[in-house]
Amino acid sequence: MGKKIRRIKTVKGIRNYILGPLTTKLRRDVRDGRILNESDLGNCFVHHLKNGIDEKIFLISTNKTLSGITINGKSSKGKFLMPDIIVRDNDDEHKLRLVIELKADKRATSAYPGRVAESKINDDLKKLNKFTKNSFLKKQIKYGFFVYLYRDTEWSENKIKKKISKKLHHGRLKIIVINRYWNAKKGKLYSQPTMDRIDEKFLASHKIVVGGDKK
C-alpha cells in the first residue's frame, strides 16, 4: 500500500503550504512550460492546493461573486467583487478563510513597476485591501495572497515584492512573485542563452496553428 498523504487541516497550515511547497511547485510548473497565462496559473494553483488540503474541512472555489462589497460605489447598484480563488469552510460555505488574486504578465522586460498601465494589477491589490477592511469579511478571512508571474531582467523578485508590499495595507496579505528568468536554485538570473530559449518556448507555445502553413 502507498504512503497515506497527510492533509492540511488548519488555515495556518494552508498559509505555510502556499508560501512554501506550493510556491516551489509553481516554480517547477513555470520552468516546465505548464504555465503560459493567468488561467494556467490558476489551474496549477488550485491543483496543488487541492492535493494539499483536507477537502472535508475546506472548499475551494474560483471566480466566485461576493455580493454586497465593492472597491468604490454603492453595492446597492449591483456592483460586486470576484476573487480569483477562495478557500472557505466546507460546513459553512459563507465563511471565507483565504482569498487569492493572480496576475500573469506575458510581456517581457516590462514588469509591473516599470509599466505605465498598472491599473489592472492595482485593482487586484485594492480588492485584497478591501477584503481585510470589510466589517463582515475581516472577521473571517485570515490570509490573502497576491501571486504575480512575469519575466524581466531589470526588476528582481525582491524589488517587485517590496513595490507591491507598499500597496497592501494589512499584515495578513502575502505576496508571491515569480520571475520566469530567475533561477531560484542558484539565486540569480538564468544566462542570456537560457533566457532566449525561455522566450522562444514561451512564444512558440502560445501560437497553435491548425491547418495551412504551420511555420
Q: What is the pLDDT of residue 86?
A: 96
Is residue 138 situated within a structural domain?
A: yes
Is residue 17 situated within a structural domain?
A: yes
Is residue 171 situated within a structural domain?
A: yes
pLDDT in tens, 151-167: 888 888 999 999 999 99
In Å, what is the CA distance from 45 to each residue of 35, 39, 94, 115, 132? Answer: 10, 10, 22, 26, 22
pLDDT in tens, 92-106: 877 899 999 999 986
User: Which residues have CB under 8 Å from 198's CB, separation 6+?
Assistant: 151, 180, 181, 190
Number of domains present in the structure of the chain: 1
Is residue 214 situated within a structural domain?
A: no
Grid coordinates representing 147 are 501571486
Is residue 83 situated within a structural domain?
A: yes
Contact between residue 132 and residue 144 where contact means Cβ atoms under 8 Å apart: yes
Q: Considering the entire predicted model, what is its pTM?
A: 0.88
Is residue 211 situated within a structural domain?
A: no
Question: With bands split at pLDDT 50, 70 and 90, how would you rate the model's confidence at 213?
Answer: low
Q: Does residue 51 register a pLDDT over 60?
A: yes
The two beta strands, 66-67 and 182-183, are unpaired
